[in-house]
Structure 1
Amino acid sequence: MQRLSIIIGFLIVTAGCSQFTNSPTSKAWHNTNAYFNSLIIARENMKEADKQLFTTREENYSALMPILLPMDSTKAQEVATNLKEVIEKTSLIAERHSNSKYLAEAYILLGKARMMKGDFINAIEVFKYVNTTTKDETGRHTALIWLMRAYTEQRDYEMALKVSEVIRTLDLNKTNTRDFYLTKAYLHQRTGEFATSAAIAEEALKLMSKNEQTARVHYAVGQMYDIINQSAKALPHYLAVPKNRPNYDMEFYAHLNALLDEAVVRRGSTAGVQENFKKMLTDRKNTDLKDKIFYTMGNLEARKENYPKAIEYYNASLRNSTGNSAQNAYTYLELAEIHYNKLLKYDLASLYYDSTITALPKNSPDYERISRRASSLSDFVTYQRVLTLEDSLQHLAAMNPAALEKTLETVIQQKEEEAQKAKEAAELAAKKNNNVAVDRLSDKDETFKRWALYDPVVIAKNKSDFQQIWGTRPLDDNWRRKDKEAGSISFKVERGVVGSEPAQANAPTRQEAEQQKADAAAKEMEAKKKELYTRIPTTPEKLVASQRKQEEAYYQLGKIYKFQFNEPQNAIATFRTLLAKFPQTVHEAEALYLLALMSENQETNPYRATLLSKHPASTYARQLLRGNASITSDTESKAHVVYTQAFNLYSNDSYQSALKMAEDGLITYTGTSIEDKFAMLRIILLAKTGQRDVYQQALNEFIQGYPSSNLMPKAKELMAVLDKK
């Protein structure tokens, strides 16, 4: 009987502790178990993961610093064990202690862990679940803030903004208010709204304590104010960085940027600022940071529009690089931007953009933009060189033979002089680099000296001296013996008998040697002139080919200005030049179309009228007409009637009449459902009437203008046949 009472009592206590009841006993039991068996462990693992990721982060202080550390699933693998523990322990709370007061916090930790691992879909579902089910207001607010963060990391900025609008109406506690401001500032920073982001981050800073994270936010806010050219607002944030326990690098960069902004705010002499930079250069602690100092000095000169001096400092930054490819990338980028935007030297800008892409990390926010610019500039420079080269060749072709002969000699001599100067400049640069390396070595330890047998400079000098005396000797025994001659100087040097032997009978005299040398130079010059002469368009066929290259170059340059550089005025000027120099160009219709689009008055501009009158059946003319077309059932019916009549004429071999009707129908019934049928019928009739060039152009336009047409396979088949021919 006593045993039965114990069992019954145990069952009553167990039933009272069920997670599906809300009795005080049950809540106390599940709160205790959830807290001590799971939540504390999950919290500590999440704290350790956050600390490790923050400590081991890799910052690029030359690029815009994100307000919050972006979630990186690859980087999170370093803390995979901690995240796994968080997921397991918080899942236990959800499964076994569902009536615990710690349930909301457990779910938030679970969602955060999943988000850090890159599982955004499940993380978002967890945060949504907490928002809709928990009665804990603080937990619900926290979940919404993390939901906004998840959408931001997923680049779904529209949804992130919608969540932020909901959070804005809630009564948040101090911690959630701070986190909301930081997350919203991060969101606007990601979308490029730097003024808004900086203003919101400033509100968050009022709620933050002194630590390295606060220093990061101050630094990021200062950078954003610099981007929008508000140096006066940026300066206080850079000055606040050292007050918040940053690492040395962050403090160093903040000091550099503060000096830069101070010079801008003063708007006067920058001599004092430059003196500070020079002091930093001589500070032994900054030996490995000289490239950053020179980079900032270049930025200061660029802001003053003193571009030659800025370029000088940027080059000094590259010379003093310690292998920091990220810093080099931004130095190359500044050089590229100056040459592209300010100096308009596109060929040099192209080279600097290429160097930027080589050194820039692929996860950089600017990588895609810079990559597109580099690709566009490469094409641009190629076509610019085509124009310059073909102009020069055509100018040479118009010369009389005597003038041409003299000009070719001058060109060859200039090229040889340029090559020699380039070689000397390269040797000088190599010598300077060697001296810099020696200087760096002596800077590190002025008393340090290499042993002669390990010193590469001494080895190279001694080797050169040996070869001047003995020639190139093999490394073997008895190398001094008389029959061991090597190189141009033999064993006789050792005995001092060089030059005492009788002259060879067949040796040339000095005058003959000079004549032979002159003959060889003349022969080489003739060969070079002959090679250049073959490139000059001296025949009508070569001249036409040269002009076609120019025509294509103008066309491509116009499109690059229009679509890639977004410079409509340069595009208009280039297309006008194309039409003026090549009135019969195959690109006339497209050039007129683009000029019409870039003109202010779309209805009355001359390019529109010319396009509609000269190329009424082209795709480009139809594009202009399509916007004004009013299609009704009656229009569709008439279009079918006209198409049937045109097709019947084609079937009866009346090709000219059918072509006229097809072209009229294509213009009149632009925008109807059978527009593509009119276009295809016209293509077939152009082939029948032997208009090869127009046929090829119409076929290309069809493929571009009707990508979803059912007749596309037919068009591609015709194009394949044309390519074979």
Structure 2
Amino acid sequence: MKFKVNHIIYAFLVAVVLQGCSRKKDTFINRNFHALGTKYNILYNGNISLERGKLSVNDAYTENFWELLPVERMQVNDDVFLPGETKNADFERAEEKAIKAIQKHGMNIDGKEKNPQIDEAYLLLGKARYYDQRFVPALAAFNNILNKYPTSDKINQVKIWREKANMRLDNNVGAIKKLKRLLEEEEIEGQDLADATATLAQAYINIKAKDSAIPLLGIAAENTKVKSEKARFHFIRGQLYNEFKEKDSANMEFDAIIEMHRQIPRAFYINAHLEKSYNFDPTEGDETMFQEYLTELEENRENRPFLDKIFYRIAEYHRNRASDSLAEVYYNKSLRKTTSDKYLRALNYETLGNMYFDRNVYKTAGAYYDSTMTAMTPNTKPYRIIKRKRENLDDVIYYEGIAKVNDSILYMISLPEDRQLAIYTEYAEELKQKALEEEKRKEKELQKQESRQNLALSSTQDKSSKVNLNPRGLPNEFTSKDAANSFYFYNTTTVAYGKNEFLKIWGDRRLQDNWRLSKKQTDIKTTGKQESVSEITGKEDQYNPQTYIASLPTDQTVLDSIAKERNFAYYQLGTIYKEKFNELLLSKSRFEDLLQNDPEERLILPSKYNLYKIYIELGLTRKAEAMKSDIVANYPDSRYAEILLNPQSELSKDENSPEVIYTNLYNKFENQNYAEVITEAEKQIKRLEGDDFVSKFEILKASARGRLYGFEEYKKGIDYIALTYPNSEEGKKAQELLQNAIPVLAKKEFIPDDNAKHFNVVYRFENDSDEDIDAFIKTLNEEIEEKITYFDLTTSKDLYDENTTFVVVHGLTSIQGASGFAQLLQSNEKDTRGRPIKPKITKEYFAISSPNYAIIQRHKNLNAYLKLE
């Protein structure tokens, strides 16, 4: 009987379960069965996956405290994924669980959802898509809840998440409107209120209405229970207050973070301290206490992971107090700390570079700028600024090097012989002392090495006390009959013993032939004898002051050349400091030094004009007026005097300005007036000596000479520009041409016609003949238009050299077609009565491929080509 009762109960339970599995019947059992399965099975696991995914997103995100923090800790990437792909497996699993809950446990009966957990499933679905950065599908999930479950207890959360998705899609204005309506119409509190106000604050920040974000972040900080969020909101408020120059309010926010101490991530605690320290005003605060405050931050063991930033802050403090030496120490300390903060590394390198630049140590500054660029993102605006500055510094390093060396030589030449002897004697003694110190250092290093070897040997001997030595003093392993079974190189003790014995007898010798010979003693590092002072010094002339005195130039021509080179370097430095770095004081000193050194005539006037402009910008009115009077009085016909007397006229509109002259001359170049271009360019080069525009006229002249006289003349001109103007844009371009283009253009071998695709017919005219070339071209075009309809042909007039001009027909596709075309134009035609008509084109011609035509124009080797036909 009992057995039957159990069976009945079991059957009843099975019937109840089967009844509850149905999603089509709206019964108490059905609703609760599906609700419990959804909540405690599928959604539970889905939410675990979602939280795990959020943790991975947070771990992958690096806070950038150098910029305004975002309200939400999430990095949005621009990666594109194909349909079905996902960025994070945990979010994919959470989405799968949400979809499974909707599909397996949804109870949509008569248009209404009877399972109260389905809105939670859609919320999980939207969140998973949101964190997976698929914002449009996420928005669809949130809208589905709002449309189908308006009475859901999660409706406020859904509205907030919907607007977060809208903001990610750059719909900030719409998000602000709906969030404001939510806060006005609904009584929300707690975490929902914190999320709504924080989201609204981010929307205001996105549209640059940052003042509106501050009170909202305050509400969010008061209502959130998550300590890390509270710290973030306070920190953003502090950053915003700092932007509005409200330091006291900002410090209150940072103090609120500091009070939370170990309850929040350490990064917020340290950066709150640092941001507060930047607001310190030395005119109002106690500097001694502030220094102690920074020292405490540095010495706190818990702050070790953040020492890179702390060192940087201390360095900035010392630099602001003009303690550059201490600042440099701390900048380097910051660099030595291993850090993933590339922005901080770039700041350190750039600041050190600027410090060395200000001290005129340009080579070191350039090295720091190189390091700065390695820590920056390429092709960004800050990167391009540093790159341009570094490239400009190349010119400074080059010319400063010339000026320094030549100044030194000229200074030494100007001294009396006894003073020269005293200086070089002191220099030689310094070299000798350094050599002795280096030798002592090497000797100590050798002694340390020997002591280490002896220590290793004694240790080896202690460990090998059981090793028996044969009468020759070698271990028995060397002579054992069982050596074949135990080769001595396999015994580390024996090998160590053998190495030390070799070093004792022979020293450390190179692996080479005849290593035993006595003349190989120079290779021994550990010898019994110590080298004498004379052996240490080696070449005596290196330490003889007369050697250096004898190397000084005495020929006046050489000295003049050195002075000329030094003066040109001063001029270039003055121009570079003024135009490229806006370092007016440095530029002023270089131009003034130049004018005191009896410079070439071509450098005097532009230097004085540059000094006049610098004096004006520096407010040195009296000096500016004196320089203006000097230029007007001594150079009345110069363009600089004209500018000074008539400052209202713009140089770019002056018909005598280099810009206008160059433009007109370039137009003549385009019209193939090469001889006129060469003559006028030479005239302007002489007139504008020392002006930046000279190199432009030089390259125009070189191009014109190349077109008129051929490749060799062009190469000669380009080579001259590269050597004479190495730091101008034209000089650098010339250097590139010499390296890349000139070797290719130098080839003068004609290519076979089979390798060409385009061909020309060329008619040759002598420039001193009476033939009307323009009339011929007109007739030629008429004939082509009338007789040739199956080719798209064009004509041109090309100057070949001073005596020859070509009329060229372009657009033919084979050498036979080119010849056939010319013959067709020269063939006799008949009129309506059958009488022959004399052809209009009877000029001799030759056919040539386009590549070979370029070669004859480049190398002026027409005769060589005609001999091939």
TM-score norm. by structure 1 comes to 0.54
CA distance in 2, matches of 1:288, 1:424: 40
Matched to 1:299, the amino acid is: E
Corresponding position of 2:753: none
Change (3 A) 1:378 1:414: farther
Q: 1:427 to 1:238 in 2, by over 3 A?
A: farther
Q: Can you list the C-alpha shifts for 1:10-68, whole angstroms capped at 9, x where unaligned?
A: xxxxxxxxxxxxxxxxxxxxxxxxxxxxxxx999999987764343112354x335446
- Specify the alignment match of 1:614 in structure 2: 638
Match of 2:693 among 701, 719, 725: 701
Distance 1:360 1:668 in 2: 39
1-side partners of 2:442 and 2:245: how far apart? 39
How far did residue 254 of structure 1 move? 2.0
Is 1:208 aligned to residue 220 of structure 2? yes
Quote the residue 1:32 is aligned against: none
What letter corresponds to residue 239 of structure 1 in structure 2?
A: D
Q: Are 1:298 and 2:315 an aligned pair?
A: yes
Cα pair 1:380 1:557 within 8 Å, conserved: yes
CA displacement 1:408-438 (0-9 Å, x = unmatched): 332343456678899999999xx9xxxxxxx
Matches within 5 A, 1:149-164: none
Contact kept? 2:362, 2:393, Cα under 8 Å: yes
Return the alpha-carbon distance in structure 2 between the equivalents of residues 475 and 360 of structure 1. Answer: 52
User: What per-residue deviation string (whole Å, max 9, x for no partner) do you get for residues 279-301 of structure 1?
Assistant: 55554433444444333333333
CA displacement at 1:705 relative to structure 2: 8.6
| Aligned equivalents of 2:422, 2:48: Cα separation in 1 | 84
2:717 to 701, 704, 722: 722
TM value normalised by structure 2: 0.47
Aligned residues: 546
CA 1:290–1:400 in structure 2 vs 1: closer, same or farther (change >3 Å)?
same
* 1:485 match: secondary structure: helix
Change (3 A) 1:358 1:302: same
CA contact (8 A) 1:49 1:83 kept: yes
In structure 2, what is the Cα distance between the partners aligned to 1:419 and 1:560?
40
Deviation of 1:393 (Å): 0.9
- Using the TM superposition, give the Cα deviation of residue 378 of structure 1 relative to its aligned residue in structure 2, in angstroms: 5.4
CA contact (8 A) 1:181 1:201 kept: yes
What is the CA RMSD across the aligned residues, in angstroms?
Answer: 6.7
Query: After superposition, what is the alpha-carbon deviation per residue over 1:90-146, rounded to whole angstroms, capped at 9, x for unaligned?
Result: 9xxxxxxxxxxx9xx99xx99x989969x9xx99xx9xxxxxxxxxx9999878855
The CA deviation string for residues 352-404 of structure 1, in whole angstroms up to 9 with x for no partner, is 44444445565988544444444544543443343222111111123445543
The answer as to 2:406 corresponding to 1:390 is yes
Shift of 1:335: 4.0
Alpha carbons 1:182, 1:201 under 8 Å: kept: yes
Separation in 2, partners of 1:368, 1:668:
30
1-structure distance, mates of 2:443, 2:275: 36
1:539 aligns with 2:542: no
Q: Is the 8 A contact 2:49 2:91 kept in 1?
A: yes
Change (3 A) 1:540 1:555: same
CA contact (8 A) 2:392 2:580 kept: yes
- 1:219-368 aligned at under 5 Å gives the runs 219=235, 222=238, 231-242=247-258, 243=260, 246-259=264-277, 261=279, 264=282, 267-271=285-289, 273-318=290-335, 321-322=337-338, 326=342, 327-340=344-357, 349-359=365-375, 366-368=382-384
1:79 to 2:87 alignment: yes
Change (3 A) 1:322 1:460: farther
User: Paired residue for 2:62, among 58, 61, 81?
Assistant: 58
- Relative to structure 1, the CA distance from residue 553 to residue 52 in structure 2 (aligned partners, 3 Å threshold; closer, same or farther) is farther
Q: Secondary structure of 1:206's partner?
A: helix
Q: CA deviation at 1:608?
A: 8.5
Q: What residue ranges of structure 2 are gaps of 5+ in the alignment? A: 1-44, 100-118, 141-158, 184-194, 461-492, 510-528, 708-712, 721-869
Q: Is the 8 A contact 1:616 1:622 kept in 2?
A: no
Cα distance between partner residues in 1 of 2:658 and 2:572 = 32
1:189-221 deviation per Cα after TM superposition (whole angstroms, max 9, x unaligned): xxxxxxx85x45524423534454563454456
User: Is 1:410 paired with 2:426?
Assistant: yes
**Structure 1 residues 357 and 340, CA, compared in 2 at 3 Å: closer, same or farther?**
same
**CA deviation vs aligned residue, 1:640-659 (integer Å, no higher than 9, x gap):** xxxxxxxxxxxxxxxxxxxx
**Post-superposition CA distance 1:317-346 (Å, at most 9, x none):** 455x245574554444444455556x6765
Contact 2:703–2:714 under 8 Å retained in 1: no
Structure 2 counterpart of 1:486, from 506, 512, 517: 506
Q: 1:178 to 1:298 in 2, by over 3 A?
A: same
- Distance in 1 between the 2:570 and 2:416 partners? 28
Quote the Cα distance in structure 1 between the aligned partners of 2:78 and 2:541. 67
Higher relative contact order (CA 8 A, sep 6+): 1
Distance 2:354 2:365 in 1: 7
Q: Give, in whole Å, the separation in 1 of the partners of 2:90 and 2:646.
A: 63
Residues 185, 569 of structure 1: alpha-carbon distance in 2 compared, 3 angstrom cutoff? farther
Check the 8 A contact 1:325/1:360 in 2, yes or no.
Answer: no
The whole-number CA distance in structure 2 between the counterparts of 1:532 and 1:222 is 67
Aligned residue number for residue 451 of structure 1:
none
Query: Structure 2: how far apart are the matches of 1:328 and 1:396?
Result: 43
Equivalents in 2 of 1:334, 1:617: separation in Å? 42
Deviations 1:216-251 (A, max 9, x none): 454456457668876434322322335596422232
Does structure 2 retain, via aligned residues, the 8 Å contact 1:205–1:214? no
* Equivalence for 1:463: 453
- Which residue matches 2:33? none
Q: What does residue 554 of structure 1 align with?
A: 570
Q: Residue 482 of structure 2 corresponds to which residue in structure 1? A: none
Report the Cα distance in structure 2 between the residues aligned to 1:169 and 1:589, rounded to whole angstroms.
69
2:481 maps to none
- The one-letter code of the counterpart of 2:87 is V
CA contact (8 A) 1:666 1:675 kept: no
1 CA distance for matches of 2:614 and 2:503?
83
Cα distance in 2 for residues equivalent to 1:214 and 1:612: 73
Question: Could you report, residue by residue, the CA deviation over 1:590-622 in whole angstroms, capped at 9, with x for unpaired residues?
Answer: 656756766759999839968883358999999
Q: Given residue 452 of structure 2, which amino acid in structure 1 is its aligned partner?
A: N
User: What letter matches 1:463 in structure 2?
Assistant: Q
Structure 2: distance between partners of 1:613 and 1:114: 74
Q: 2:396 aligns with which of 369, 380, 391?
A: 380
Q: What does the per-residue CA deviation read over 1:623-646, in whole Å, with 9 as the maximum and x for residues that have no partner?
A: 99556849xxxxxxxxxxxxxxxx
Contact 2:164 2:175 in 1 (8 A): no
Q: Which structure shows the bigger proportion of residues in helix conformation?
A: 1
Question: Matched residues in 1 for 2:255 and 2:412: separation?
Answer: 63
Q: Identity rate of aligned residues, in percent? A: 16
1:395/1:596 CA distance change after superposition, 3 Å: closer
Secondary structure in 2 matching 1:298: helix
Amino acid at match of 1:486: W
Equivalent residue of 1:613, what SS?
Answer: coil
1:702–1:347 Cα change, 3 Å: closer
Q: Whose strand proportion is higher, 1 or 2?
A: 2
Distance 2:631 2:367 in 1: 39
